[in-house]
Structure 1
Amino acid sequence: MRIADHATWDRGFPVKYLLVQEDEDGVEQLWGRCTGVEGFFVDPVPPPREILTLRGCRPDGLLSEVLAEPDVSLRCLGDVCVEVCDDEKPVQWWTLADAVVVAHQPHQADPERYDIVLGAGVRSEESFFELPATSHFELFAGTRVAAASAGRCSGVDGLFKARVDLAPVPMELIGCEPAEPLLAALRRPRRSERDWAYLLVLDRHGAVMASRSVGLAITGTRPSVLGGILVDITLTDGGNDRPSLAARPIWAEWYQGSPTEPNLWAPYDS
């Protein structure tokens, strides 16, 4: 599929997005093209807050510094990574998002250790939740690229339990001209293992700026607010790798084309 063949149309507004899927042979097929997408920029939905207790903890780094302060109540640790290790290596990874120290006290069996109560959102980085027969827990705090040891503990109460998956965040394709594969999906909705496609983001020259995965499950279709034969389509799941709201002005810069002078990004934060 040649992007240039689909990047323009005879309308008063530009094509800004192409919906593309690869077939079983890896050949790209056009599913549709549209001029707008609502819900492309989305801040991640934080997981529900929970109470967890780090049992028999030997704190290190940031966690040790927090416990050394006179009043540690509600002191934020940021994201804390929990590695569940067996006798040989880490086997599971969890994230305690935006973790806050609620309280701590000496561990009953060893006064040199602590039981530390945290409030946090819990995200699993794996699809299995069973505790190894012999295990210990390594803790890391800091940014993803500069996480440092925060200690280790013998158990984490409240970590291993069933949780409800967060509802997917929908996305709306505005002013969409469906190609035949998408028309067929609209006529006979069905689910399959290939219910994902790529949303290609074009700049004003028709070049591909970025590609994002989106679900093809369709919640609703209606005549487009832009009129003509176009339609507006609501996708049930707009994917997990959408840029944040804070990134919108940067994407607007890129839409104009590649930078032509240095330091255009200087006004933005990290």
Structure 2
Amino acid sequence: MRITDHATWDWGFPVKYLLVQEDEDGVEELWGRCAGVEGLFVDPVPPPREVLTLHGCRPDGLLSEVLVEPDVSLRGLGDLCVEVWHDEKPVQWWTLVDAVVVAHQPHSADPARYDIVLGAGVRSEESFFELPAVPRFELFGGTTIAAASAGRCSAVNGLFKARVDPDPVPMQLIGCEPAEPLLAALRRPRRWERDWASLLVLDCHGAVMASRSVGLAVTGARPSVLGGTLVGITLTDGGDERPSLAARPIWAEWCQGPPAEPNLWAPHDSQGRAAWLDLTTRAWRVPAPRPDRSGGEYHLDG
């Protein structure tokens, strides 16, 4: 499928989004094109707060620093990553969201270790295997890019229990011109409840600036507020890859096309820079402004 074949239409407003799906051979098929999307930018719903205990913990880094403060409960740890290890490799990853030390005391079997009570939201990131018979727990604090050791412990009470997934956040396709596959899905919505497609976000020049996965389960369809034969479609699940509300101005900058000069990202805060970096790594369909070059000297600014 060529993007340029579908980036324009006869309506008095531009195409801004394409809904496409890959078949088993990796060939993309157009499902529809849209004038707008409501619900593309969504702040994630934080997980509910829970109480967990790190048993037999040897704190390190930030966690060690926090424990020596007079009132540890006044200082948060940020997000704490818990890696569950089996022998020489990690097999599960968990995030303790916005973790706070509630209390701590020396471990009964080893006064050099601590039992640390935390308040945090709990999010499971990835699990390759079942819990090992004798797991080891490694703790890390900071961002994914610059995570630093926060210690290790022998057990994390309260980590392994059933949790209810939050309800999916819907997304509305506004001014949508459905192609035949989407029309078929509207006629038989139950058939596509478990299927996913890619929502391609076009910049002001009709090039793809980003791609996000969305569920094809349809909550409802109706005549579009933009009139004509266009329709408005509500997708039950807009996916969990959506950018945050803070990323909206970054996307507005990129809508004009890839940056033509260096350091335009520099004035943004850390969240804005992360959104900028996300676009640079996801805009894989955008042609480079000039050919790649090899050899010679390259100076890295910073």
Q: TM-score range by the shorter chain?
A: over 0.9
Asked if 1:119 is matched to 2:148, the reply is: no
The equivalent of 1:65 in structure 2 is 65
The structure-2 alpha-carbon separation of the partners of 1:127 and 1:263, relative to structure 1 and needing over 3 Å to count, comes to closer
Asked if 1:78 is matched to 2:78, the reply is: yes
The structure-2 alpha-carbon separation of the partners of 1:121 and 1:13, relative to structure 1 and needing over 3 Å to count, comes to same
Superposition CA RMSD, Å = 1.7
Gaps of 5+ in 1: none
1:75 and 1:102 in contact (8 A); partners too: no
The equivalent of 1:233 in structure 2 is 233
Q: Shift in Å at residue 265 of structure 1?
A: 2.9
User: SS at the partner of 2:183?
Assistant: helix
The structure-2 alpha-carbon separation of the partners of 1:240 and 1:45, relative to structure 1 and needing over 3 Å to count, comes to same
The one-letter amino acid of 1:48's match is: P
Q: Deviations over 1:24-45 (max 9, x none)?
A: 2222111000010001111122
The equivalent of 1:30 in structure 2 is 30
User: SS at the partner of 1:197?
Assistant: strand
2:91 and 2:128 in contact (8 A); partners too: no
The structure-2 alpha-carbon separation of the partners of 1:180 and 1:262, relative to structure 1 and needing over 3 Å to count, comes to same
Displaced runs of 4 or more, over 4 A: 127-130
Between the aligned residues of both structures, percent identity stands at: 86
1:103 and 1:117 in contact (8 A); partners too: yes
2:18 and 2:200 in contact (8 A); partners too: yes
Distance 1:58 1:194 in 2: 44
- TM-score normalised over the length of structure 2: 0.85
The structure-2 alpha-carbon separation of the partners of 1:218 and 1:192, relative to structure 1 and needing over 3 Å to count, comes to closer
The equivalent of 1:17 in structure 2 is 17
2:175 and 2:224 in contact (8 A); partners too: yes
Deviates more, 1:124-133 or 1:28-37: 124-133
2:91 and 2:127 in contact (8 A); partners too: no
Distance 1:37 1:263 in 2: 30
Distance 2:22 2:86 in 1: 40
Distance 1:130 1:26 in 2: 32
Greater RCO between the two (CA within 8 Å, min separation 6)? 1
Deviates more, 1:121-130 or 1:11-20: 121-130
Gaps of 5+ in 2: 271-302
Distance 1:262 1:130 in 2: 46
1:41 and 1:245 in contact (8 A); partners too: yes
Distance 1:258 1:146 in 2: 27
